Amino acid sequence: MAKITTATLLKMKQQGEKITMLTAYDASFAKLFADSGVETLLVGDSLGMVLQGQPDTLPVTVEQIAYHTRCVRAGAPQAFIIADMPFMSYATMEQAFANVTPMMQAGANMVKMEGGEFLLPTIKALTERGVPVCGHIGLTPQSVHVFGGFKVQGRDDAAAEHILQQAIALEQAGCQLLVVECIPSLLAERISLALRIPVIGIGAGVVTDGQVLVMHDLLGISSGYIPKFSKNFLQETGDIKKAISKFVADVKSAAFPGPEHSF
């Protein structure tokens, strides 16, 4: 695989080619995903749930994400790697400056932050200082206690308009990528058309510029339940390599996600 950059991803959006993204936490799976054609790897704070057995993502630390980022980079030297900024690691601009450093030094190409208006000055300051930022709106798991659980966001007109305006503001502040999670497909389509930057969906329908899944959900090995927006590709193929290849092919052809995975 040729080295993937922000310019690669932007060109893919412009040419209408879907972008694939999976969470990765170690070198072995990172290599498998990259060799299978997955362009972007997310070292997600989801590791708190799928690796550590926590009930949510809140206990994950900066040091843990940096450690796993280093592992993923070792396995996938050409991949585009995004490191999640953990809960309350970017509550102030000073915290963000301090905490992005170990992420980028560990091999991340970009950091991901959840939230809207309060983040805009921080995103602008980081991008001015050479740190690419991925935004994340809709259902933001670090705010699970505010939302009262893992619930679909943007269902009514006012909430949908607010999320759309958040997306536009994040791009204007300097975000070069945006993840939208658990929002209605029609809203995801509006956002994808409104933004120049690539929009990656999870539980946001097939109309976004790409798709991301937690690897454990894709392989059907998550403890607990498989979310509505996910699919057990391993059950369908019976082989891990084939499951990853099927995910890539189905995203590229817009066969996944289907209506049954969307809101």
Residues taking part in catalysis: 181
Q: Binding-site residues for 3-methyl-2-oxobutanoate, please?
A: 45-46, 84, 112
The region that residue 168 occupies, defined by phi over 0 for left and psi between -120 and 50 for alpha, beta otherwise, is alpha
- Provide the pairing of β-strand 177-181 with 110-114: unpaired
- Provide the pairing of β-strand 80-84 with 110-114: parallel
- Sequence-ordered list of residues with C-beta below 8 angstroms from that of 4, at least 6 positions apart, any chain: 39, 40, 78, 79, 80
E strand map for 44-142 = 80-84, 110-114, 133-138
* Alpha carbon distance 144, 56 (integer Å): 8
Do you find a cis peptide bond into 257, omega within 30 degrees of 0? yes
Q: Which residues of 146-169 are buried (b: 16+ CB within 10 A; e: fewer)?
A: eeeeeebbbeeeeebebbbebbeb
Read off the tokens for 73.
């980079």
CA 58 to the chain's CA centroid: 17
Q: Binding-site residues for Mg(2+), please?
A: 45, 84, 114
